[in-house]
Structure 1
Amino acid sequence: MGSMRHDFTRASPYVIPVNWQAVLAFCAFCAIVLERIFLSFSALLFLSFGAVLIISALRSKSRMLLRYWPLLLLPTYCIVSTLWSDYPAQTLRHSVQLALTLIIAMAVAIKLRSETIMRGLYCALAFAVVISTLVELTSGRATSWQGIYESKNVFASIVAIFLLMGISLLYFRENRLAISTLFTLQIIFCLYALIRSASAGMIISIIPVVALFFVFRFNKYLGDAQRAFLMIFIFLASITTAIFASLYVEEILAGVLEYFGKDPTLTGRTDLWNFAIQLIAERPVFGLGYKAFWVVGNLDAEALWAAFYLPSGSGFNFHNTYLSNTVEIGLVGITLQVFIFYIGLIRGIRLSLVEPTHDNIFWCAFMALTIIRSFGEVSTFFEFSLDSLVYYIAFITVSERHRERRRTMKINRTPFSVLQR
């Protein structure tokens, strides 16, 4: 009977092979995306699933993991900042958690194929969007949508990433009619949900990223000369747009912010930015220490909480990634972050221009969105953050493909291939 059962199982068409690393990655994504459901267990679940992935990556992909050691300089520096932090216990705890988050991201990117990662992330985001929508439809709230999250901005961020995935899957992959229809409905709903969230910052940020999709879509039909002309046109159009925006920036921002019920004068944010600049001037090189400012008992932080009518210890930031992080980790730390930001985006754009596959386009679009948001929000480089997790994954994924492409070009660059040209 035992052998008969074995033969039946082996021959059965209903047996589906399971990629356990992919399942672990999906569970890790869910632990972060559905944090408001798992609550205090969210971090524990994420670290548990991630630990198995790290061990698996160390056993089979250790050399590849070591290849990206520069990405570990940032969390290492944050840990070192414990030495001069005014709140060393706070700094050490958050730094170690950041390091674990980023190492898990590296393990996911190294261990799994790009498309497999996208599937896991897609399913996790789909769960979050569906549950959040059901919450909004059953609650009957007349205010802006925020779903299962504490703020509308977090909900808008989840929806925006899901929107980018839908566009990349619809326009840069061959699909059956039914699947294309599904992705089209997904895009339409995400746009509706973004509007209902009334997140002005996210809506403003998503517009140029969506435009980037059309550039990549149109680019793959062009030859080298036409592609060069398109790049020159985009460059000149960007300069013209930037000049126009700089001349009428106040009118543009006032109109958009008033539509979403925001303060059109930006008084609150400019006060925060000025205060951050003053703090940076006091300790510009190394900063105050990672996560050593927004601490209960810190007089400066307490003053800002009081000025904005927020309870002590509530989540708050300087609404600018560069200023906020320079306050904590100084010019040294922000230099590392800028490197990760812009080297990743440059590689993503170059790769998307020559290989406009749906996953390359998505990783590039996500990095572009994150960087655009960085000027008005703080969404990356802190522990258990979806944006930090996905950005590291995107960086390694596009870097690996960029590296493979360069290696292939070197192999094909032979005297015979030169003669054939």
Structure 2
Amino acid sequence: MKIPKSLLIDPDKNTAYGSFAVAVSIWAFSYSTIFGQAMILAYYAVWLPLILVDYRKILRHASSAWLPLAFATYVCFSVFWSAAPGTTARTAVQYCSHIACAYIAARTVSVRTLTIGALIGIFVVLLYSLKVASYSYDVLDGTYNFVGAFSSKNQIGFVASLGIYFCVVYLAFLRRGRISFLLIVPIVLLSGYLLVVSHSATSMASTPAVLALVALLSIGKLLSLRHRRVIFMIGAGGLIACTVIALNLGLMDFVLGLFGKDSTLTGRTYLWQQGWNAAQQSPILGVGYAAYWVQGFSEAERLWNEFYIAARSGFHFHNTYIETLVELGFVGATLLSLIILRTLWGHVSALIFRTWQADSVILSGIMVLLFIRSFVEVETLNPYIMGSFLLYYSYFKLVRAPAVAPSRWSAVNHLEEPDAVRG
């Protein structure tokens, strides 16, 4: 049997396979700690073999994505000064291969296919969490929170917020036919319910903010380029002014109080201080990628003990930039910050200075969500998590895609050997 290559790697024709690959990836990101290495192998299996289907198309112009390549190289080189070289070497290889999978996904999967696959994967993941129905006790704020099959309320809150986000953008920009409403309703209801019961303040605060931004960017479709620029400048200035006023009038404490938090973000400001102190020990290069939270290291053991982390794993400084400073120093923090800002500005500026496109709106919303969460979570620095996959997928979507020869993809009646994969 011959399978046309287009069904695997052509973004306009591989909706079925692409959606399946994204759904498998989300399941692996969510529950690999439960189901083991088989899920990670499945994640690799849906992406890496696509290189063999047409390596010229996928790898062409890969060097133009120089910034992630530079960061991945630096992560690998940190093994030479790492406090735990074995851990750094293993995790660095995982992170680099994770970036490679995101690159392949960006080359072969459209934003619409990504959204469909994400909705399927998120729905299945949340259903499983609803079935497990586990709760965890937070010793810092004295509350019980729904975590499902996850290890923390913030993880399930993030997945639920993405479920709501992808439901909204699919209905607003990508749906085809009225049946889409019926298919989306169960996903958005389940996502909304689990978001509320998880009590994740970060997710509940960031979700409406991102949806409001998407609505604002959508209005730009009706405006000329000049008016878009004016509105953007006014909106950016207003946001900065409102933030300054809120901080000076104490409105931030009021908002946090609505979510049961105080101005210390339930211990996070203490963690930030500890992280900053740790970063001063090796400010330029850091202690090595993934080389701080290692069992047997005194400072990591102390913080695990102070925050009642009995498993002595799966912890971080709850701030992407502080965590990166500790592990990779100023050099690594600068590179990762540039990747985040370059991706965010790339998609937002496309809406302000160029032709309006729904894909840019969707990816802008994803990047704003990740940017907001980067100040209180660490979701782009580690392998096999949804945040880093979405970050690099969005970045590689900015890279100029290689041209596709019309003779290979447009001719319906040509399925010769070069265009097919034997199965």
TM bin (shorter chain): 0.7 to 0.9
SS in 1 for 2:145: coil
Change (3 A) 1:167 1:338: same
1:293 corresponds to 2:292: yes
Contact 2:286–2:326 (8 Å) recurs in 1: yes
Residue 164 (structure 1) aligns with:
165
Rounded Cα–Cα distance in structure 2 between residues aligned with 1:357 and 1:208: 21
**Larger mean Cα displacement after TM superposition, 219-228 or 365-374:** 219-228
Measure how far apart 1:236 and its partner are. 3.0
The one-letter amino acid of 1:298's match is F
Rounded Cα–Cα distance in structure 1 between residues aligned with 2:319 and 2:42: 30
Rounded Cα–Cα distance in structure 2 between residues aligned with 1:226 and 1:207: 25
Contact 2:22–2:121 (8 Å) recurs in 1: no
Rounded Cα–Cα distance in structure 2 between residues aligned with 1:123 and 1:174: 15
**Larger mean Cα displacement after TM superposition, 101-110 or 190-199:** 190-199
Unpaired segments of 5 or more residues in structure 1? 1-15, 405-421
- What's the CA shift string for 1:226-274, capped at 9, x where partnerless? 323322331232122112222134x533x44444444544462222111
Residue 362 (structure 1) aligns with:
362
Residue 218 (structure 2) aligns with:
217
Rounded Cα–Cα distance in structure 2 between residues aligned with 1:218 and 1:188: 26
Residue 277 (structure 1) aligns with:
276
Rounded Cα–Cα distance in structure 1 between residues aligned with 2:221 and 2:204: 27
Change (3 A) 1:265 1:284: closer
SS in 2 for 1:289: coil
SS in 2 for 1:61: helix
Structure with greater contact order relative to length (CA < 8 Å, sep ≥ 6): 2
Contact 2:147–2:156 (8 Å) recurs in 1: yes
- What's the CA shift string for 1:132-160, capped at 9, x where partnerless? 23444x99x99433222111111111111
The one-letter amino acid of 1:106's match is Y
Residue 73 (structure 1) aligns with:
70
Unpaired segments of 5 or more residues in structure 2? 1-12, 138-142, 404-423
The one-letter amino acid of 2:385's match is S
Rounded Cα–Cα distance in structure 1 between residues aligned with 2:22 and 2:190: 26
**Larger mean Cα displacement after TM superposition, 62-71 or 316-325:** 62-71
Contact 1:367–1:391 (8 Å) recurs in 2: yes
**Larger mean Cα displacement after TM superposition, 371-380 or 22-31:** 22-31
Rounded Cα–Cα distance in structure 1 between residues aligned with 2:273 and 2:192: 34
Rounded Cα–Cα distance in structure 1 between residues aligned with 2:215 and 2:107: 29
Contact 1:321–1:376 (8 Å) recurs in 2: yes
Q: How does 1:200-215 map to 2 (within 5 A)?
A: 200-215=201-216
- What's the CA shift string for 1:194-252, capped at 9, x where partnerless? 22210011222223211101111222112234323322331232122112222134x53
- Equivalent of residue 39 in structure 1, options 31, 36, 39: 36
The one-letter amino acid of 1:384's match is Y
Residue 243 (structure 2) aligns with:
242
Rounded Cα–Cα distance in structure 1 between residues aligned with 2:198 and 2:312: 25
Change (3 A) 1:380 1:163: same
Rounded Cα–Cα distance in structure 1 between residues aligned with 2:240 and 2:83: 44
Residue 377 (structure 1) aligns with:
377
1:92 corresponds to 2:93: no
Change (3 A) 1:168 1:352: farther
1:125 corresponds to 2:122: yes
1:331 corresponds to 2:330: yes
Residue 103 (structure 1) aligns with:
100
Measure how far apart 1:118 and its partner are. 2.7
Residue 416 (structure 2) aligns with:
none
Measure how far apart 1:120 and its partner are. 2.2
- Equivalent of residue 115 in structure 1, options 112, 115, 122: 112
Normalized per residue, which structure has more helix? 1
- What's the CA shift string for 1:262-309, capped at 9, x where partnerless? 454446222211121112222111000001110011111111112222
The one-letter amino acid of 1:370's match is L
Taking only aligned residues, the RMSD between alpha carbons, in angstroms, comes to 2.8
Name the larger-Rg structure.
1
Rounded Cα–Cα distance in structure 2 between residues aligned with 1:173 and 1:150: 33
Change (3 A) 1:358 1:131: farther
The one-letter amino acid of 1:219's match is G
Contact 2:319–2:375 (8 Å) recurs in 1: yes
Residue 3 (structure 2) aligns with:
none
Rounded Cα–Cα distance in structure 1 between residues aligned with 2:236 and 2:257: 31
Measure how far apart 1:376 and its partner are. 0.8
Residue 407 (structure 2) aligns with:
none
What's the TM-score once normalised by structure 2's chain length?
0.82
Rounded Cα–Cα distance in structure 2 between residues aligned with 1:292 and 1:37: 23
Change (3 A) 1:220 1:104: same
Identity %: 27
SS in 2 for 1:144: strand
Rounded Cα–Cα distance in structure 1 between residues aligned with 2:144 and 2:276: 34
Change (3 A) 1:235 1:127: same
SS in 1 for 2:222: coil
Residue 302 (structure 1) aligns with:
301
Contact 1:118–1:359 (8 Å) recurs in 2: no
Contact 2:28–2:384 (8 Å) recurs in 1: no
Change (3 A) 1:351 1:191: farther
Rounded Cα–Cα distance in structure 2 between residues aligned with 1:191 and 1:207: 12
Change (3 A) 1:243 1:21: closer
Contact 1:288–1:328 (8 Å) recurs in 2: yes
- Equivalent of residue 53 in structure 1, options 50, 53, 56: 50
Measure how far apart 1:186 and its partner are. 4.2
The one-letter amino acid of 2:235's match is I
SS in 1 for 2:397: helix
SS in 2 for 1:172: helix
Rounded Cα–Cα distance in structure 2 between residues aligned with 1:24 and 1:166: 19
Rounded Cα–Cα distance in structure 2 between residues aligned with 1:307 and 1:132: 28
The one-letter amino acid of 1:291's match is A
SS in 2 for 1:220: helix
What's the TM-score once normalised by structure 1's chain length?
0.82
